[in-house]
Amino acid sequence: MDGQYSEYGLDAITWKDHSDRRTVYDRDAYRAWSSVSLVGKNIKRWINVFILSVVSFFPIYGLMGILPDFITRESLLVPCTLILSSLSNVAFTGILFAGVILVYYLTKWKGVLHQLVPYGRMSLTNYLSQSLIGAFLFYNWGLGLYRYTGITVCFLMGLSIFFLQYFFCRWWLRSHRQGPLEWLWEKATWMKIG
């Protein structure tokens, strides 16, 4: 059966395991092995990203605080602070990304995080609508609530907006494949010109 073709494609695949020279002819067994292997490699990679991000974030962030004590010239301090701020932001983003991915793969929170899939499938729609709603609520051209609300109220408003968007995403994706702005983005990407 090895190497024969059927009307549907390959009947079997040949794969050599270099550790003990076994040959696998079963396509499902190969897929199961490769997915477990990829997840294991993925987890190791994200653990390394997490460690590297933590190890680089704290010294960079700490250096930003003491930098004005060592550099007195404004023309040198501003670019150095900007560079360190950008590097600390990249490192903190690595902490967040790797942390969420590791929590997903290594803890029992996988089911909880998996519930956020609809929100992620409509990320462009959510990002833009959240920006517009927040700007309307807090800027002067809208309601200008920044003058009247404190940190706690702003946090609760943000959570409310998130949950409204989350339930909207679940409702929308029951009858559509993707969000409205994702659909527009896809159409604009594959638009034929001329």
Residue pLDDT, tens place only, 78-114: 999 999 999 999 999 999 999 998 998 888 888 888 8
Q: What is the DSSP letter of 147?
A: G
Cα 25 from Cα 111, distance rounded (Å): 34
Residue 66, CA distances (Å) to 54, 63, 124, 159 in order: 19, 5, 38, 35
Quick one: tokens of 43? 């987890």
Q: Which two tokens stand for residue 142?
A: 């809208």
Residues 21-47 pLDDT 10s? 455 455 555 555 555 566 678 888 999
CA distance 136 to 133: 5
Mean pLDDT along residues 143-168: 92
Residue 127, SS3 per DSSP: helix
Confidence of residue 3 (pLDDT cuts 50, 70, 90): very low
Measure CA 47 to chain center.
Answer: 16
What residues contact residue 166 under an 8 Å CB cut-off, 6+ apart?
A: 116, 118, 119
Task: Indicate the pTM of the whole model.
Answer: 0.61
CA 47, 38, 93, 178: dihedral to nearest 10 degrees?
Answer: -150
Residue 16 has pLDDT above 90, yes or no: no
Residues for the chain: how many in total? 194
